[in-house]
């Protein structure tokens, strides 16, 4: 096999790889694109998807193109609960009704040390 032919084989493999994106990856992409906290480049990295595959996805998946448009316009809704850091233990938690700490225990510690 000559050098040129080997290069051609490698190229066609790469193209095939770009086209095969699993349903799971497509669903995960749509899901993660809804989060305003994640950048598109981070999502692609997490899911091991290239730019070309994302373009492909946005063409064949009806959910992804509108999400990308929304992102570009900065209109992504923040529909996940806001995470806070517990001032006592430093853990992340979802505050319920203005709760300041992750647990009663931490609340007591925060009150004592305040």
Chain positions 32 to 71 lying near Zn ion, rule: CB under 5 A, are: none
Contact between 86 and Zn ion (CB under 5 A)?
Answer: yes
Smallest gap, in angstroms, from Cβ of residue 91 to Zn ion? 5
Q: Which residue has the tokens 């004592």?
A: 112
Q: Which one of the spans 13-21, 23-31, 40-48, 79-87 is the region binding Zn ion (CB under 5 A)?
A: 79-87
| Distance of closest approach, residue 99 Cβ to Zn ion, in angstroms | 10
With beta carbons less than 8 A apart as the criterion, state whether 96 and 84 touch: no
What is the C-alpha separation between 15 and 21, in angstroms, rounded?
12
Least Å distance between CB 23 and Zn ion?
Answer: 39
**109 is a contact residue toward Zn ion (CB under 5 A):** no
Question: Looking at 40, 65, 89, 110, which residue binds Zn ion (CB under 5 A)?
Answer: 89
Which residues contribute to the site for Zn ion (CB under 5 A)? Answer: 86, 88-89, 102, 106
């Amino acid at each position: 096999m000559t050098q040129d032919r080997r290069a051609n084989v490698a190229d066609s493999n790469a193209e095939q790889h770009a086209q095969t994106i699993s349903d799971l990856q497509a669903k995960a992409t749509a899901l993660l694109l809804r989060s305003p906290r994640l950048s598109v480049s981070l999502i692609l990295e997490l899911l091991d998807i290239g730019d070309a595959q994302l373009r492909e996805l946005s063409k064949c998946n009806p959910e992804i193109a509108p999400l990308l448009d929304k992102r570009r316009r900065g209109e992504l809704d923040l529909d996940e609960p806001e995470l806070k850091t517990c001032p006592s233990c430093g853990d992340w938690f979802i505050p319920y009704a203005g709760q300041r700490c992750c647990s009663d225990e931490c609340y007591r510690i925060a009150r004592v040390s305040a």
